[in-house]
Amino acid sequence: METQLDPMKDDLPLMANTSHMLVKHYVLDLDVDFKSRVIEGFIVLFLDTGSRYRRASSTGEEGCQFDETCKIRASEPGHVLVSDASLCSSKTKYNDFAVCGKGEKDTSDKNGNHSNKEQASGISSSKNCCDIEHHGNKDFLLVLDCCDLSVLKVEEVDVAAVSSMEKFSGSDKLTDVSKEMGNLRNHIVRELVSLPSDRWKEQLDYYTHCSQAPGCGELLFTTGTWSLEIRKSGIQTPTDFPHAIRIWYKTKPEGRSVTWTTDQSDRPCVYTMGSPINNRALFPCQEPPIALSTWQTSVRTAASFVVLMSGENSAEPVQLQEGIMSWYYYVTMPMPASTFTIAVGCWQEVKQQSFTPAVQTNNEFSLPFSQADFRWHEESCGHVEYPCRFQNPAARLQRVIPYRVFAPWCLMKCCEEHLLQLVPQCLSAAYTTLGTHPFSRLDVLIVPSNFSSLGMASPHIIFLSQSVLPGGSHLCGTRLCHEIAHAWFGLAIGARDWTEEWISEGFATFLEDVFWARAQQLSHDEVKAQQELKALLRWRRLRDEVQNSEEELQVLR
């Protein structure tokens, strides 16, 4: 049996071998079923070889260039690139293999996984998990972070069968590539993921068509407590491993990445809570924060539900059949998979019902132009290429990005009175302080009462607890400012290691006071008095927590 983790002492295992292959883009196609409390469908992963393997290949050397940095570092448990045998105990039992051979008996178990003892013998033990590049006669193993999922099938995607991809296969770069179909498919994916950022719309369209391409052979896989491991027989290096794979799976009702519950109006809903295991029980992924990817998602559910998600577009539902609607979102800024967020429920959009001068005036535009933005006219960003708003002149002038507020029906009136008018004020104050908003739009959702925090920020969407509403504009405003600050610190800029998340929390906590003071348009003396009072209260709370809590509770995991 696999060792069970003690949440008080053990860190979340990051199993994905990101140094050898990186997911560049996810395409999710999902159905949400509230009767069974299951999300089911498929995910297509578009992969590229990782930086460490590329460096090894460029030297002309075969085999893995492992060094001490591959091993687990006690000082950086959130930055583990798993290639150490200590995380891959030989005690681990692998018996959930997919059967690729024709005519073989389907041995699916009750969880929808498959087993085949003959096939399992190839990698029945993971004690040599670090030897993933064919030391001896072993196949390359793609390792993804995954738990509480029923994986039904894994297959290679025949991207070469997509007619619109002929322009990539006919590239001059193909002259040095073998005409063997596997290499051709991988070449197409490499060309696709490397398209320049000004062709992002075209790229998303290609991803969509490729995700719908037929499969061209099932892949062997095994599921462990914390991982999904995939291999193709005879493939021994990341370069030759399929660069586009499709995983058919379904979540389990007890899965810990999402919560199935009812909202404050007693209607069913499901949402990602930002759980300690992140999104690995929602879809197989690479979870180390250094693994940055883009994604696009289609979600189908009953017509009575609204799907909100991390996405640059404000999705409009499309009716597929009577009673079933489809929602589509996409993200073009590479982000950690842990930031993917979804909320499906009978949410109601809160809109201003009557003309209110305090809300409808242009006060939010009267603040001075952000001095921080002047330098971006002269300097370029240093991040990986994507359609960056900091280089977009129109975005640099956008003081208040488009926003929406959603809530359960019974809280709509309260949100209209306390929250709706605060959003543009807080967004404007953030712009005045930090400049261009990193994200193009914002949804704010009042989540169910079982939400364990006051708020949580994700790309394009903020979850707020109902607890901030009765506190009047001050509590609601300061919390909203805190979560807006995370757009810069925590999302656009994030810690390489999860144990350093306190850095982004520190910036957000500091900036919430700055934003909120500007949103209220306080005088200098009022700002100083408010900040000194809050600093004193925070110091006393920190002192009391340190004096009255066990040491283990003071360690960030």
pLDDT of residue 2: 53
Of residues 170 and 491, more confidence is placed in 491
Of residues 48 and 359, more confidence is placed in 48
Average pLDDT over residues 452-460: 93
pLDDT of residue 174: 47
- The whole-angstrom separation of Cα 127 and Cα 196 is 41
Mean of the per-residue pLDDT values of the chain: 81
Average pLDDT over residues 49-71: 51
> Is beta strand 403-407 parallel, antiparallel or unpaired with respect to 324-336?
unpaired
pLDDT of residue 102: 33
Instruction: Place 452 in a pLDDT band, splitting at 50, 70 and 90.
Output: confident
**pLDDT at residue 95 greater than cutoff 50:** no
Torsion from C-alpha of 229, 233, 234, 239, nearest 10 degrees: -40
Instruction: Place 369 in a pLDDT band, splitting at 50, 70 and 90.
Output: very low
Q: Of 40-49, 186-195, 383-392, which range is least confident? A: 383-392
Strand 244-251: give its sheet, edge to edge. Answer: 215-218, 149-157, 244-251, 38-49, 21-33, 292-302, 324-336, 318-321
Average pLDDT over residues 125-143: 57
- Decide if 550 is catalytic: no
The tens digit of pLDDT for each residue in 257-313 reads 999 999 999 999 999 987 778 999 999 999 988 899 999 999 999 999 999 999 999
pLDDT of residue 194: 94
* % of the chain with per-residue pLDDT over 90: 61
Strand 342-345: give its sheet, edge to edge. Answer: 258-262, 268-272, 342-345, 306-309
Please report the sign of the dihedral spanned by the C-alpha atoms of residue 104, residue 109, residue 114, residue 115: negative
Closest CA relative to residue 5, chosen from 230, 253, 277, 251: 277
**pLDDT at residue 538 greater than cutoff 80:** yes
Average pLDDT over residues 110-131: 34
DSSP, collapsed to helix, strand or coil, labels residue 179 as coil
**pLDDT at residue 451 greater than cutoff 70:** yes
pLDDT of residue 553: 77
Average pLDDT over residues 427-445: 97
- The whole-angstrom separation of Cα 194 and Cα 54 is 15
**pLDDT at residue 135 greater than cutoff 60:** no
Average pLDDT over residues 76-95: 32
Contact 280, 12 (CB under 8 A): no
pLDDT of residue 112: 38
Average pLDDT over residues 89-98: 31
Q: How long, in residues, is the chain? A: 557
pLDDT of residue 14: 87
Task: State the catalytic residue, choosing from 483, 526, 550, 552.
Answer: 483
**pLDDT at residue 20 greater than cutoff 50:** yes
Residue 183: both structure tokens together: 């290499």
- The whole-angstrom separation of Cα 257 and Cα 276 is 8
pLDDT of residue 59: 54
**pLDDT at residue 198 greater than cutoff 70:** yes
Average pLDDT over residues 337-345: 96
**pLDDT at residue 82 greater than cutoff 50:** no
Provide the 10 A C-beta neighbour count for residue 101.
11
- Phi (first) and psi of residue 306, to 5 degrees: -115, 135
pLDDT of residue 502: 84
Listed by start position, the domains of the chain span 21-54+135-343, 385-521
Contact 504, 486 (CB under 8 A): yes
Whether this model's pTM surpasses 0.85: no
In sequence order, the 6+-apart residues with CB closer than 8 A to the CB of 351 are 416, 420
CATH no. for 21-54+135-343: 2.60.40.1730
pLDDT of residue 260: 97
Closest CA relative to residue 207, chosen from 216, 195, 198: 195
- The whole-angstrom separation of Cα 433 and Cα 453 is 26
**pLDDT at residue 104 greater than cutoff 50:** no
Instruction: Place 501 in a pLDDT band, splitting at 50, 70 and 90.
Output: confident
> Is beta strand 306-309 parallel, antiparallel or unpaired with respect to 342-345?
antiparallel
Q: Is 385-521 the same fold as 21-54+135-343?
A: no
**pLDDT at residue 423 greater than cutoff 60:** yes
pLDDT of residue 165: 87
pLDDT of residue 366: 38
Average pLDDT over residues 154-171: 87
Fold for 385-521, please state it.
Neutral Protease; domain 2 (1.10.390)
Q: Distance of alpha carbon 413 from its chain centroid, rounded?
A: 32
Average pLDDT over residues 11-32: 93
In sequence order, the 6+-apart residues with CB closer than 8 A to the CB of 123 are 94, 138, 139, 141, 222, 229, 231
- DSSP letter (8 states) at residue 499: G
Average pLDDT over residues 126-141: 54
- The whole-angstrom separation of Cα 195 and Cα 187 is 13
In sequence order, the 6+-apart residues with CB closer than 8 A to the CB of 129 are 82, 83, 85, 87, 88, 141, 143
The tens digit of pLDDT for each residue in 371-402 reads 444 444 445 788 888 999 998 899 999 999 99
Average pLDDT over residues 451-469: 94
Kindly report the three-state secondary structure assignment for every residue of 45-59. Answer: EEEEECHHHHHHHHC
Instruction: Place 167 in a pLDDT band, splitting at 50, 70 and 90.
Output: confident
